Amino acid sequence: MHPLERLVNLVALLLESRLPLTFEQIRSKLTEGYGHGDLASAKRMFERDKDVLRDIGVPIEVVATDAWEVEQGYAIDKERYYLPEIAFTPEEVSALFVAVRSGGDVSAEDAVRKLLSGAEGGILASFGGSGLAGGPDPHLRQAAEAVAGQQQVRFEYRTSRGERSERQVDAFGLAVRAGHWYLVGSDRDRGEIRSFRLSRISGGMTIRGEGSAPPEGFRAADHVQAGPWGPGEPESEATVAFSADVAWWATGGIPGSEVVSTRPDGWVEIRVPAQPGQSLAPWVLSFGPDAEAVDPPELRAEVIERLEAIVGS
């Protein structure tokens, strides 16, 4: 047997054993390593191996195996052998992730992502998903620093419909959804918590001073809305009518939905947050004959067009 294989087998045996092992027990279990030749030469080989392992840092200890301390056994102190668990505070992990993400180092980003899997809290702990789209986001570092410092920021924001406006936001957290970074915070002008996709921010962020603290129990991912319109902040509304059979559950999990009216035939018109009709039409069609797109016109037209394509196929 090769000496290295013998050393590895000895370490593995001592680590697996719950009790110290005498040399006789070790020899009986590792017959290929110490079972050949006479007992004295086998013991000398074992002592040499033990010294080699100790020299490279393996903590082999000699332990009494009986109450009278007549017989001795060998064991590895597992607390000294195994490396301690590497622990980072949420703030340290968050800082590491932002640093490598901003620098565009993919291998470093993957390493820190593994650390993130065991971290709780912090500005990056409430991801709504994994997988990031595109290259490094130029606004990520600014947003992370604003969150870490509980600062108020101002920036120009472009909605999905191309509308631009100035936003003043108390930065509460960062989240990822569908491959995009979102800044989540209290929109000062609208008086409520909103999410802002970083890729839609024009120019840079300006620090306006100290912001407010997030509410107790805040999780950024909870505010990156994901409904039938897709992830992110809905920029418009749509009205959809549902039959009485499905109206009671159809929009139960959609934030911001509200009943508009109930028709004489029992159908219920419900207003739901929406993006342009293209993304909402498949959701309406998923209810079959129990849903009808009412407004806006482009959503209704999209649903009709898709139905005609289905009928004509």
Report the share of the chain in percent with pLDDT over 90: 17
pTM beyond cutoff 0.75: no
State residue 127's pLDDT score: 44
Q: Which residue has the higher pLDDT, 123 or 199?
A: 199
State the total domains in the chain.
3
- In this model, does residue 44 exceed pLDDT 80? yes
The reply to whether 270 and 290 lie within a common domain is yes
Q: In this structure, is residue 230 part of a structural domain? A: no
Residues in the chain: 313
The reply to whether 65 and 95 lie within a common domain is no
Are 255 and 299 contacting, i.e. CB atoms less than 8 angstroms apart? no
Kindly state the average pLDDT of the residues 104-125: 50
Kindly state the average pLDDT of the residues 134-155: 79
Q: Which residue has the higher pLDDT, 131 or 201?
A: 201
Give the domain-ending residue among 58, 81, 104: 81
Are 77 and 59 contacting, i.e. CB atoms less than 8 angstroms apart? yes
Measured CA to CA, the distance from residue 237 to residue 280 in angstroms comes to 10
Q: What is the pLDDT of residues 195-226, one digit of tens each?
A: 888 888 988 889 999 999 998 888 887 777 66
Tokens of 56: 């490279």
Q: Which residue has the higher pLDDT, 275 or 106?
A: 275
Measured CA to CA, the distance from residue 195 to residue 171 in angstroms comes to 10
Measured CA to CA, the distance from residue 151 to residue 159 in angstroms comes to 23
Greatest alpha-carbon pair distance for the chain in Å reads: 100
Q: In this structure, is residue 231 part of a structural domain? A: no
Give, rounded to a whole angstrom, the gap between the first and last alpha carbons of the chain. 72
Q: Which residues pair with 185 in a beta bridge?
A: 171, 194
- Nearest by Cα to 24 from 74, 69, 77: 74
- Nearest by Cα to 289 from 310, 274, 261, 313: 310
Q: In this structure, is residue 142 part of a structural domain? A: yes
Alpha-carbon dihedral 173, 176, 182, 188, rounded to 10 degrees: -40
Listed range (4-8, 105-109, 123-127, 308-312) with the worst mean pLDDT:
123-127
The reply to whether 136 and 208 lie within a common domain is yes
Task: Return the CATH number at 152.
Answer: 2.30.30.520
Give the domain-ending residue among 81, 98, 115: 81
Q: What is the pLDDT of residues 276-299, one digit of tens each?
A: 555 678 888 888 888 999 988 988
Map residue 116 onto helix, strand or coil: helix
Q: What is the pLDDT of residues 221-277, one digit of tens each?
A: 777 766 665 656 666 788 999 998 888 777 665 667 888 899 998 899 998 887 655
State residue 166's pLDDT score: 94
- In this model, does residue 123 exceed pLDDT 90? no
State residue 117's pLDDT score: 45
Task: Return the CATH number at 64.
Answer: 1.10.10.10
Q: In this structure, is residue 171 part of a structural domain? A: yes
The reply to whether 185 and 255 lie within a common domain is no
The reply to whether 148 and 165 lie within a common domain is yes
State residue 153's pLDDT score: 95
Q: Domain residues for 280?
A: 236-312
Q: Quick one: pLDDT band at residue 83, thresholds 50, 70, 90?
A: low
Q: How far is CA 24 from the centre of its chain?
A: 51
State residue 69's pLDDT score: 67
Amino acid at 253: G
Q: In this structure, is residue 229 part of a structural domain? A: no
Please tell me whether the peptide bond between 297 and the residue prior to it is cis, using omega within 30 degrees of 0: no
State residue 122's pLDDT score: 47
Measured CA to CA, the distance from residue 88 to residue 116 in angstroms comes to 9
Q: In this structure, is residue 286 part of a structural domain? A: yes
Mean per-residue pLDDT of the chain: 78
